[in-house]
Amino acid sequence: MIKNKGKREALTDFLFVAPQLILYIAFTIVPVLIAVPMMFTNQVSFATNEVSFVGLDNFKTLFSSSYMSRILPALEKTVIFTLLNYLMVFIFGLSLALIMYDFHSKLKRFFFTVIYMPYMISGLGVGIMITCLFSRDTGSINLLLLKLGLINQAIDLKDSLMASLFVPIIIGWRYAGFNMALFLVGLLSIPTDTIEAAKIDGARYFQRLWFIYLPQMVPIIAVATVFCLIGSFGVFDELVGMGALYGNETMKLFSIVLYEEGFSGKISGSLSMASTMSMVVFVPLVIIAFLLNRLQKKFEY
């Protein structure tokens, strides 16, 4: 009887996980399995009938000066974006999680929904909205800031400095609810007895944050780091909405260059070269994620 009950519970758990598992296999595992053999061919597109084995020629071509001149600037901008985006994870996500954790009101669910709402908006829509709001001539925010005298000239998203600062803020704002939910999980897992004992002992808020909250949130911080790292190299929709494919060179992060190489026809490349580019970046990211996971288990409170 107990054995049958265990089987039913296992089946129920599997049915709950199955939809997400199927989507993950279909849109993550299968494309990776397709991309791996493609790296060693000369396949131009999915419509190509004649495909030949070329060995490591794609890797040699990738590290040639002509390709590196296009890829390195995009990688440099992506690394800078990743670092700033990681900062936004804590500025937006952790700060909001701490506020919501200590916020006791009947409106708590309402505010949680409002904060989480940008995450449910299309990334492409967010990019288009930001482009409209910060248009140099007609953008509402630009006109307001100029009218108030807070800026001397309109903010230009095509300027490299403005783009490097604005894109992480925009992505951080959009994913604030998601990161807040992650950090809230970590905060809610802390035993309340520990926090109450610290308060009785006279520990101030920042002392509790540094010595109690953060040490016990190491697993969640590691998870948030992995999400940020992989997500930063995969950000795409927001960049397209801000003109990355239509002349705004400052928005050309690695994901945009990868797309142009494999699909847009703007670069004289191919699917095989795009697969090679993605794997050269994907493998180090997986290694870093694995090391972070090991580090999390080592320093888990």
Short-list 57, 26, 25, 76, CA closest to 270: 57
> What is the average pLDDT across 157-168?
86
Please report, rounded to a whole number, the percentage of residues in the chain having pLDDT higher than 90: 19
The answer to whether residue 249 sits within a structural domain is yes
Least confident interval from 6-20, 176-190, 249-263: 6-20
* Residue 278: domain span: 70-120+163-299
- Which pLDDT score is estimated for 267? 47
The answer to whether residue 173 sits within a structural domain is yes
pTM, full prediction? 0.86
Sequence-ordered list of residues with C-beta below 8 angstroms from that of 137, at least 6 positions apart, any chain:
154
**Number of domain units in the chain:** 1
CATH code, domain carrying 223: 1.10.3720.10
Q: Are 184 and 97 in contact, with CB atoms under 8 Å apart?
A: yes
- Which pLDDT score is estimated for 5? 63
More confident residue, 239 or 294: 239
The answer to whether residue 279 sits within a structural domain is yes
The answer to whether residue 176 sits within a structural domain is yes
The answer to whether residue 19 sits within a structural domain is no
CA dihedral for 128, 134, 136, 139, sign (positive or negative): positive
Tens digits of residue pLDDT in 34-71 = 888 888 888 887 777 778 888 888 888 888 888 888 88
The answer to whether residue 98 sits within a structural domain is yes
Q: Across-strand partners of 53?
A: 41
**3-class secondary-structure state, position 138:** coil
- Which pLDDT score is estimated for 109? 81
257 DSSP 8-state letter: H
Instruction: Out of 54-63, 169-178, 268-277, 284-293, give the one with best mean pLDDT.
Output: 169-178
Q: Which helix (H) or strand (E) holds 239?
A: helix 237-241
Least confident interval from 66-80, 201-215, 227-241, 255-269: 255-269
The answer to whether residue 6 sits within a structural domain is no
Q: Are 142 and 136 in contact, with CB atoms under 8 Å apart?
A: yes
The answer to whether residue 4 sits within a structural domain is no
